[in-house]
Chains A and B, each alone.
Chain A
């Protein structure tokens, strides 16, 4: 199957910090590919290189068959990008926003008008078409952002954390829209997210990125099956956590025992059967069990399995000390 996106040891450094470390991935045409990682993992930097607004320090990539450093114009013509910031112009109406974007891609007037009307209808904004984007809610603006980059029918759609900051209901609406557009427009979608459930719900394949490197890649099922055990028994302990972990790890039915934020996470085959045994074991170790829960394996667990920490841990953002805290530094944009 031909590649829609292919990277070759692509790397980006900012001073002493390496944001993307020699990543080589291949995304096939028609795939819904997810790039999953916490804030600051290098997702946005990679997407900015693939969409030609950041030059790689070394390595390269081909997007839509074009080299990002040698043929950036051709790359830009074949892609649509929804950036992390809501980028629709607040001073323009929804229709004006879309029409001007169509002109950026030199879409003929008649086609543009038809497509703008169709897309506005599909994202549920046709009744608000001639209202300023400034009057829209966050969810509406996001829908407009997505519709706007589809006016020229891109072959590949890049989305950088498209549902970040949206309420759960708006998030679901965006997910449905993306799936339907992908099918109807025959697109490849490259999405970055730090929401596990988003990657699980949408992506046919997922790469997990942390500290600029891909640490695991595959379908969500493949990634989960790479971890021994079907269930995780989570014991919230108030003391002697380390002792309890050592005892649990020594048990034959426990594939892996991990401490994360004071919780003891035990990977087992049958959670409901093994939970009472683990509670007793923890009590014997001198720990006080304050809560117990059983979870099915998720991508979150895959992330924790590989990194030893939760994806939701906040990373600090770098800001320009020269220009003041209000101005993000290049890396923090």
Chain B
């Protein structure tokens, strides 16, 4: 055991001499949180729309008022009035407008007579998100043209669906916190553990250590444990800072916080062992760099951290089922947002424990204690 401790001590001491790396490793996932949290959410506002109103009748004016209400109220659209229908549609094609509303000259007459009144909505359907928001806003405006007032009392003869919220509302950026913490773990496992072995090999230092009585278990176990200590520290800091930024209760109850730490620990050990298995023979830090960029995407996005796994195609869902980050994110969401105890997420815990056992065993067995 003394040799294993020496491997851990060497690694932790060396890492402590590079505090900048640790600060970067903590800051980067938090920046991810801020960027992701702000780039995947928010209502679209000020979408430029051309309006060509060729109908000066009652219903034409009424629809125009409805459109102005959308532009002033939720500010979804910004209206530009034009007289030439062709130029309005051309403006959409050119990208000057996201959409054009054409109210034809006979609109009021057709409304009054009830013979298929139609309003033309031309949209730029290459931008699906803007198109969805625009179509929704303009369709609502058109559909509400006959409504004079909102009914105060619901119709008692119509069945109503009653929505009951089981948990406190979770904002989008709060929902990202488990994923960001798991990403911090991934980054931590890539800059500790086996990375230090790769650097030793690259610098030709590994040879001197292999010539001492340290065993395979001392090397693999020592590097995994030192990586665990550093990564756990980083992940805990990232969790606390992310929780403070997004307004999540950091600790809650003792069991809640301990539950979070258990999930972080199992995930960290599992990923460290997996990366040791994959990079145990690498001899150049560039290999680790390439690998890190690739693996981060491969594991992070199918984890359900950003988008529900249920929305994935079947093959990607199958991959998620063997992705440790999927179980880590699921477990953290359950504990952080639902306050579930560990036994309620035993499926995630069992997977993470099995994953750790398999990866650690393979890492030790496949590691060659020779040059």
Do A and B interact?
Answer: yes
CB atoms of A104 and B214 under 8 A apart: yes
| Best-buried of B6, B13, B17, B213 by chain A (most CB within 10 Å) | B213
Given the known inter-chain contacts A103-B9, A323-B283, please indicate yes or no for A53 contacting B210, CB distance below 8 A. yes
In whole angstroms, what is the CA distance A91 to B196 when docked? 12
CB atoms of B370 and A104 under 8 A apart: no
In whole angstroms, what is the CA distance A145 to B209 when docked? 12
In whole angstroms, what is the CA distance A87 to B9 when docked? 17
Separation in Å of the B170 CB from the closest CB of chain A? 42
Please name 19 further chain A to chain B contacts, defined as beta carbons within 8 Å, in addition to the given A55-B370, A76-B212, A87-B208, sorted by A numbering.
Answer: A53-B371, A77-B213, A81-B208, A83-B204, A83-B211, A85-B204, A87-B205, A87-B207, A87-B209, A89-B205, A103-B3, A104-B3, A104-B212, A104-B213, A106-B2, A324-B286, A326-B284, A333-B204, A333-B207
CB of A25 within 8 Å of the partner chain: no
CB of B110 within 8 Å of the partner chain: no
Separation in Å of the A241 CB from the closest CB of chain B? 42
A145 contact set on B, CB distance < 8 A: 208
CB atoms of B204 and A89 under 8 A apart: no
A149 contact set on B, CB distance < 8 A: 208
Neighbour of B371 across the interface among A91, A105, A330, CB < 8 A: A330
Given the known inter-chain contacts A55-B370, A326-B284, please indicate yes or no for A87 contacting B213, CB distance below 8 A. no
CB atoms of B211 and A52 under 8 A apart: yes
CB atoms of B371 and A333 under 8 A apart: yes
Q: What per-residue 1/0 map shows which CB atoms of B201-234 lie under 8 Å from chain A?
A: 0111101111111110000000000000000000
**Which residues does B use to contact A, with CB under 8 Å?**
2-3, 5-6, 9-10, 13-14, 17-18, 202-205, 207-215, 283-284, 286-287, 370-371
CB of A117 within 8 Å of the partner chain: no
B211 contact set on A, CB distance < 8 A: 51-53, 76, 79, 81, 83
B212 contact set on A, CB distance < 8 A: 76, 101, 104-105
CB of A281 within 8 Å of the partner chain: no
Separation in Å of the B296 CB from the closest CB of chain A? 22
A-B contact count (CB 8 A): 86
In whole angstroms, what is the CA distance A83 to B204 when docked? 9
In whole angstroms, what is the CA distance A92 to B14 when docked? 6
How many A residues touch the partner, as a band?
Answer: 20 to 34
CB of A54 within 8 Å of the partner chain: yes
In whole angstroms, what is the CA distance A105 to B218 when docked? 12
Given the known inter-chain contacts A85-B204, A105-B213, A132-B17, please indicate yes or no for A54 contacting B10, CB distance below 8 A. no
Residues from 15 to 61 in A contacting B, C-beta threshold 8 Å: 48, 51-55
Residues from 53 to 96 in A contacting B, C-beta threshold 8 Å: 53-55, 73, 76-77, 79, 81, 83-85, 87, 89, 91-92, 96
| Best-buried of B3, B10, B208, B215 by chain A (most CB within 10 Å) | B208
CB atoms of A85 and B14 under 8 A apart: no
CB of A327 within 8 Å of the partner chain: yes
In whole angstroms, what is the CA distance A296 to B81 when docked? 104
List of 5 A-B pairs having minimum Cβ-Cβ separation, nearest first: A85-B204, A103-B6, A87-B208, A91-B14, A104-B212
Closest partner residue, chain A, to B215 (CB atom): A73
CB of A100 within 8 Å of the partner chain: yes
In whole angstroms, what is the CA distance A100 to B204 when docked? 18
Q: What per-residue 1/0 map shows which CB atoms of A123-160 lie under 8 Å from chain B?
A: 00000000010000000000001000100000000000
Q: What per-residue 1/0 map shows which CB atoms of A99-123 lie under 8 Å from chain B?
A: 0110111100000000000000000
Closest partner residue, chain B, to A50 (CB atom): B211
Separation in Å of the B254 CB from the closest CB of chain A? 36
Closest partner residue, chain B, to A51 (CB atom): B211
B213 contact set on A, CB distance < 8 A: 73, 76-77, 104-106
CB atoms of B2 and A96 under 8 A apart: no
Given the known inter-chain contacts A73-B213, A81-B211, please indicate yes or no for A96 contacting B205, CB distance below 8 A. no
In whole angstroms, what is the CA distance A100 to B208 when docked? 13
Closest partner residue, chain A, to B370 (CB atom): A53
Separation in Å of the A107 CB from the closest CB of chain B? 9
A92 contact set on B, CB distance < 8 A: 10, 13-14, 17
In whole angstroms, what is the CA distance A105 to B213 when docked? 6
Residues from 264 to 289 in A contacting B, C-beta threshold 8 Å: none
**11 residue pairs bridging A and B, Cβ less than 8 Å apart:** A53-B210, A53-B371, A73-B215, A77-B213, A83-B204, A92-B10, A104-B209, A145-B208, A149-B208, A323-B284, A330-B371
In whole angstroms, what is the CA distance A105 to B6 when docked? 10
Closest partner residue, chain B, to A85 (CB atom): B204
Given the known inter-chain contacts A77-B213, A333-B371, please indicate yes or no for A53 contacting B13, CB distance below 8 A. no
B205 contact set on A, CB distance < 8 A: 85, 87, 89
Neighbour of A106 across the interface among B3, B14, B208, B287, CB < 8 A: B3
In whole angstroms, what is the CA distance A52 to B216 when docked? 13
In whole angstroms, what is the CA distance A55 to B368 when docked? 11
Separation in Å of the A156 CB from the closest CB of chain B? 12
B207 contact set on A, CB distance < 8 A: 48, 53, 83, 85, 87, 333
Closest partner residue, chain A, to B284 (CB atom): A327
A48 contact set on B, CB distance < 8 A: 207, 371
A51 contact set on B, CB distance < 8 A: 211
Closest partner residue, chain B, to A326 (CB atom): B284
Closest partner residue, chain A, to B201 (CB atom): A333
Separation in Å of the B178 CB from the closest CB of chain A? 33
Closest partner residue, chain A, to B283 (CB atom): A327
B208 contact set on A, CB distance < 8 A: 81, 83, 85, 87, 145, 149
In whole angstroms, what is the CA distance A82 to B122 when docked? 77
Separation in Å of the A148 CB from the closest CB of chain B? 8
